[in-house]
Structure 1
Amino acid sequence: MESLGRLRMPLMEPLVAAHLHPRLSAVSSRSPNLPSKSDRFQSALTEKAYKTVALSARALNVLSLLTAYQAELCEDFVQTQEPAAWEEIPVIADLCLRVQR
């Protein structure tokens, strides 16, 4: 997840930081930061929103995989009447409900 940029927001590019904060040179060794408190606050809120969306996307992915697996189990149960498939269906339904909390 980290390598794909889905765990946290990508770092601010030095040229963008220099544009937003002209007193900070683009080649400066200091880490880029935003000039005003309100800009830093907005950036923190944006980062929290980014993390929330990433978590929601991962939960939706898990939910879709579990639902597809549950559909396969239901299809197998209709064809074979195997009790093991019937016992696993409520377990997957419980996992789906936990993900949706």
Structure 2
Amino acid sequence: MTNNYLKAMIKRVQYNDSYQTITFQVSAFSWHQEALALFIEAFFTVFKSAKLVEVMEGADRMNARFIFQQAEFIICLESSCEAIWIEAYGEDQITNLHTLYQEIERLLKMK
């Protein structure tokens, strides 16, 4: 898993201040459970500064809770609505969301 895999999948990363989320627009993504697991594995391989806490699986979704700079976040992958986003794991963590977004942009060099 490399940065190249994520760059191939992710077409755009966006910080949404209104909804307090970081959203990922992806292309050529199969949305099967295996693809969700592969995306999470690649995400944490590239973002070494994020510490994976737990992965939660459902029938059509996969979530991973992680810590970045002492703040907790959750990355959500939902195959039923074909969406990937990150949100703060608790309202007191929201202030660190933009810092996380900047780190994602930097690592993927999306801009």
TM-score (norm 2): 0.24
Instruction: Using CA pairs under 8 Å that are at least 6 residues apart, name the structure with larger relative contact order, 1 or 2.
Output: 2
Structure of higher CA gyration radius: 1
More strand by share: 2
TM-score (norm 1): 0.26
